[in-house]
Homo-oligomer: A and B are copies of this chain.
Amino acid sequence: MIKEERQRLIIEKLNRDQKINLVELSQLLHVSYDSIRRDVIELEDKGLLKKVHGGAVANSYLSFKTTQGFGIDNQEVLHLTRKAQKLFENHQTILMDGGTTNFHIAEQFPKNLELTVITNSLPLAIVLNEHPKIETILLGGTYHKRYQITVGTQAMRQLEHLRVDLYLMGFNGLDPNVGVTLRNYEESVLKQKMAKSAKKVAICAITEKIHTIETYKVCDLHEIGFLVTSLKPSDPSLNDFRNKGIEII
C-alpha cells in the first residue's frame, strides 16, 4: 500500500472517530508502527491533525469550547496561520486585534512561546488561557457585542502608553492602490491608532481579500511591514506589494 493511500485512510478514520491510536492503526493497515508514526508527523506538518502521545486527534479537539463560531476548517486559513508563526519570537510584545484569522494564529502558538500579547479581543484572551507562557493584556473600552472586542476612546487612551514590537492587524480589504480597508468605521479608527503604537505592522491575507476594497480606509501600504499570504512570495500578482517594500511571507 502506498503512503498516500495510508494517509487518506488515517484522515478518514480520524474524521469518523475523532481520534486514532498508532499501534492499533499499524496492525489494521499491516505496516510497521514507524511508518504510521511518520505518516502522522507528515499530516501534522500539513496541519491536518494534532499528534499526541499514543496517537493523534482531530485538529481543534479540546479547544472546541473556545472555537465555537470560529471552527471553520478552511484549508487556506490553516496554511496561512501556520506561515504566520514565523513572525513571532520569544520575549516580544505583540498587539493583536479581533477577527478569526488572528484567533487561529493565536490558537496555534507553540506552547513554549513566551510573548506578551495585547489585545482588544475577548475570544483571543480566552484562547490564550491555554498558553501558560503568554502574558495577556486586555484593552478596556466599550464592549462591542457582535465582534466581541472593545472599542472607543478608552481603548485609544490606553494605547497611548504602549509601544509594541509588532501589530498583527485584521482587516477586510487589501488593494495595491487604496491600501488596507475595513467595513466598520469605529474599528478603522482604532486600528489606525494601533498601527502607530507598533514598530512594525503585519497583515495576514487569504487570497480572497487581496484586491478587495471596503468602505473605510485604515492605512496606506507603506505602513505595512509584512504580508503573510498562501501564495508563493515570488507570485507576480504580489509585485505591487513587494515594490512598496512589504516583506512577503
Chain A residues within 8 Å of B, Cβ to Cβ: 2-5, 7-8, 11, 18-19, 21, 45-48, 52-55, 57, 60-63, 65, 68, 122, 125-126, 128-130, 132, 135-143, 145, 148, 150, 154-155, 158, 161
What's the number of copies of this chain in the assembled complex?
A: 2
The residue of chain B having its C-beta at the shortest distance from the C-beta of A118 within the complex is B140
The residue of chain B having its C-beta at the shortest distance from the C-beta of A50 within the complex is B4
Among B54, B60, B158, the residue within 8 A (CB) of A2 is B54
- Are the CB atoms of B125 and A137 closer together than 8 Å? no
Complex contacts, A21 vs chain B, CB 8 Å? 2
Consensus secondary structure, chain A interface: mixed
- Are the CB atoms of B3 and A53 closer together than 8 Å? yes
Complex contacts, A137 vs chain B, CB 8 Å? 140-143, 154
- Are the CB atoms of A125 and B154 closer together than 8 Å? no
**13 examples of A-B residue contacts, CB within 8 angstroms:** A2-B52, A3-B54, A7-B62, A46-B62, A46-B129, A48-B62, A48-B65, A62-B65, A129-B148, A136-B143, A137-B143, A138-B138, A140-B141
Measured in the bound complex, the distance between the Cα atoms of B47 and A21 in whole Å is: 26
Q: Give A224 Cβ to nearest chain B Cβ, in Å.
A: 26
Complex contacts, A158 vs chain B, CB 8 Å? 140, 154, 158
The residue of chain B having its C-beta at the shortest distance from the C-beta of A125 within the complex is B143
Complex contacts, A61 vs chain B, CB 8 Å? 4, 8, 126
Q: Give A12 Cβ to nearest chain B Cβ, in Å.
A: 10
Complex contacts, A136 vs chain B, CB 8 Å? 142-143, 145
